A and B are shown apart, each in its own frame.
Chain A
Amino acid sequence: MTVKVLYFGRLKELSGTSEEIVEVWDGALIEDLFARCSTARPELSKFRTSLVAARNREFAAWNTPLSAGDEVGFLPPVSGG
């Protein structure tokens, strides 16, 4: 199945893209998806502890299972205001 991945802030700069479609296996968790994305971009992995994930626009735990077509955002610490 495929999911849409969104990158923001420094992660977007580091990834060189704001979004991409990524193929993962059925039953994959958000952490599996992040590992997959980090394989293509090793620099991403060092941000694992300083970002949060959102699934379909809600903050989500790393062990949240994914469904086909999900939108997953990897979000650095927020700094609005």
Chain B
Amino acid sequence: MRAARSEDRIEITRAVIPNAEIAAQVRTDGDGAVATFDGCVRNHSHGRATLYLEYEAYEAMALAKMQEIAAYIHANYAIRKIAIVHRLGRLEIGETSVFIAVSAAHRAAAFDACRYAIDTLKKTVPIWKKEFFADGAVWVDGELPPVPAETPAAKPASN
């Protein structure tokens, strides 16, 4: 498993995410750009009024997957630092559920890496959210993460 770099900030928290502090933390004098993504709790879903959300995670695995995303980004984008912080528990409308910040010398890498981070997080990191409405609650239909192909070793030997 690839690890994130020590100057990165990869976290799962139950506290309010300090967006401004995180954005400031990734920034250095060598950077011309900091791209951030603020994922926040929306007050509606499929035409219904959302009251609040609850997030839960397979924490140890989620953190490992977030670190893998950071490591992949360092290997594939010309960026300086990355922060990915996800919150769990009950979140009210307007609160930040995930905050991502990426610094880079130039804006294209910062934008691209930030986009890659949130898109990949939503597909591969084991975190789940439940939406609460006035008349009930539902687990949000998400994405089934890609799984390695079946291992030949476990199949009966052929010829």
Interface residues on B, range: 35 or more
Whose C-beta in chain A lies nearest to the C-beta of B152?
A: A63
The dominant DSSP class at the B interface is: mixed
Contact at A61–B128, with CB atoms within 8 Å? no
Contact at B149–A78, with CB atoms within 8 Å? no
Chain B interface residues (CB < 8 Å from chain A): 1, 39, 55-58, 60-62, 64, 86, 97-98, 118, 121-130, 139-151, 154-155
Residues of B close to A50: CB separation below 8 A: 144
Nearest chain B CB to A11 CB, angstrom units: 10
Residues of A close to B57: CB separation below 8 A: 8, 80
Residues of B close to A61: CB separation below 8 A: 147-151, 154
Interface residues on A, range: 20 to 34
Q: List 11 A-B contacts (CB under 8 A).
A: A6-B58, A8-B58, A9-B130, A50-B144, A52-B147, A54-B58, A57-B60, A59-B145, A61-B148, A76-B139, A80-B86
Contact at B154–A65, with CB atoms within 8 Å? yes
Nearest chain A CB to B64 CB, angstrom units: 6
